[in-house]
Amino acid sequence: MRPWLAVVGIGEDGLAGLAPVGRALVETAEVLVGGARHLGMITSVNVERIVWERPLRGTVDRIAALRGRRVTVVASGDPMWYGVGVTLTRRFPREEMTIIPQPSAFSLAAARLGWPLADCATMTLQGRPLDTLRLHLAPRRHILVLSEDGGTPRTVAELLTGLGWGLSRFTVLAHLGGPHEAVVVEEAQAWGDRRVPDLNTIAIDCRPGSGTHALSRLPGLPDEVFEHDGQLTKREVRAATLAALAPMPGEALWDIGAGCGSIAIEWLRGGEGRAAIAIERDPERAAIIAHNAASLGVPSLCVVRGAAPEALARLRSPDAIFIGGGIGAPGLLATAWANLLPGGRLVANVVTAEGEAHLLDWRAQHGGALTRIAVSRAEPVGPYHLWRPLAPVTQLAALKPG
């Protein structure tokens, strides 16, 4: 089918700022779809109009019913950067669509500030948890944030101040590219209760306060950043475990017997676009996992409460599986292996002789590498230090044939 659905980015300057092809797609449409603000910019076209409703699914269904007619969706800036274009490409074949972007809010903000856009962290808080911002905090880091509304800068400033980043230079840019463009610059800790126009972008030049320490996104966070009840994969073993899991962009993990969720959390912190499910049967530990995920900047972690292997039913097959607890549950290893995608990695850690026996039996049938991880930490004893060994961990790492 020839393209019938157009997605046209539009800026604060309205139709006047569109390239000829974008303007033609708007002016020749039989149906226009967009937010009330965008549709209000288009006064010269008298056709059927559909205003987005929430959730978007209902409007997308209405668009699908118009297949074959000339439908143009108008959206902010670049529709493929946290925009509605992403939603539409998931529903409609790409060959049926025409997408015309405008400069994004990120591009405009970077241009105003003189920041290299490729070096900036970019994120949106439109329908996303505020805690996601925690992941990106690092000295001298530049972060660009799409706001939910005019109150978002205040909540972001409060979060930064509470986390010890109140000295950060805080620039809020409203109505970028239009006649009502406004820019406000302040330290985050001095932002106060002020409100700005709903259409705004926040630019953060991260500056830590005295005693504030950023957390690396490489595996092996300090043990003390996790809340736990003793069920924690220790730092050195955790780093080795993440290395064996070998995460790649866009991959999904099952963390079975997740304890405090440290493996799943570090899997998510290490790169964009990854997914993880933490499976934990104890309700108190499940709550701890959710708390740790939020405080460490990955509130997207999915927590499933239940005992494996029963809790694994109906979950999307993962690219990698970590088993940190319950290795002796009947059928657990077999079920995990059967659900693992071809080319996926299975890693299991045990500390008991009985657990090791399960790994030896499974390895005899399916192969894989066994590693013994022994770690000792120096601890003070009076004026001296002694090496205190942690419980040795036996690790199985297996690659499923592709």
Of the candidates 77, 81, 83, 79, the residue with the CA atom closest to the CA atom of residue 104: 77
In degrees, rounded to 5, the angle at the alpha carbon of residue 205 between the alpha carbons of residues 200 and 208 is: 130
Query: For position 81, which CATH number holds?
Result: 3.40.1010.10
Query: For position 168, which CATH number holds?
Result: 3.30.950.10
Please tell me the predicted confidence (pLDDT) of residue 181. Answer: 93
Asked if the structure places residue 160 within a domain, the reply is: yes
Return d(Cα 115, Cα 202) in angstroms, integer. Answer: 13
Residue 101 exposure: Cα atoms within 13 Å on the Cβ side = 14
At 151, list the tokens.
């109150």
Beta strand 200-205 with 142-146: parallel, antiparallel or unpaired?
Answer: antiparallel
pLDDT tens digits for 21-57? 999 999 999 999 999 999 999 988 889 999 999 889 9
Asked if the structure places residue 345 within a domain, the reply is: yes
Q: Does one domain contain both 177 and 310?
A: no
Last residue of a domain, one of 102, 121, 137: 102
Q: Does one domain contain both 376 and 315?
A: yes
Question: Under 8 Å CB-to-CB from 281, ≥6 apart: which residues?
Answer: 257, 305, 306, 307, 308, 311, 326
Query: For position 236, which CATH number holds?
Result: 3.40.50.150
Q: Does one domain contain both 376 and 233?
A: yes
For every residue of 77-92, which 3-state class applies, written as one string? CCCCCCCHHHHHHHHC
Q: Does one domain contain both 85 and 128?
A: no
Q: Does one domain contain both 297 and 241?
A: yes
Indicate the number of domains in the chain. 3
Asked if the structure places residue 213 within a domain, the reply is: no
Identify any residues that bridge with 51 across adjacent strands, giving them in sequence order. 34
Asked if the structure places residue 148 within a domain, the reply is: yes
- Our CA dihedral for 104, 56, 19, 24, rounded to 10 degrees, sits at 180
Last residue of a domain, one of 102, 132, 150: 102
Q: Does one domain contain both 96 and 186?
A: no
Please tell me the predicted confidence (pLDDT) of residue 43. Answer: 87
Q: Does one domain contain both 21 and 44?
A: yes
Range of the domain at 239: 223-399
Q: Does one domain contain both 230 and 278?
A: yes
Positions of the chain with pLDDT lower than 70, given as ranges:
none
Q: Does one domain contain both 98 and 110?
A: no
pLDDT tens digits for 288-304? 999 999 999 999 999 99
Q: Does one domain contain both 249 and 388?
A: yes
Please tell me the predicted confidence (pLDDT) of residue 236. Answer: 97
Cα distances (Å, whole numbers) of residue 293 to 197, 202, 263, 266, 276: 31, 24, 11, 9, 11
Return d(Cα 104, Cα 120) in angstroms, integer. Answer: 14
Return d(Cα 372, Cα 291) in angstroms, integer. Answer: 31
Please tell me the predicted confidence (pLDDT) of residue 148. Answer: 95
Asked if the structure places residue 210 within a domain, the reply is: no
Q: Does one domain contain both 279 and 309?
A: yes
Last residue of a domain, one of 53, 84, 102: 102
Q: Does one domain contain both 388 and 259?
A: yes
Asked if the structure places residue 215 within a domain, the reply is: no
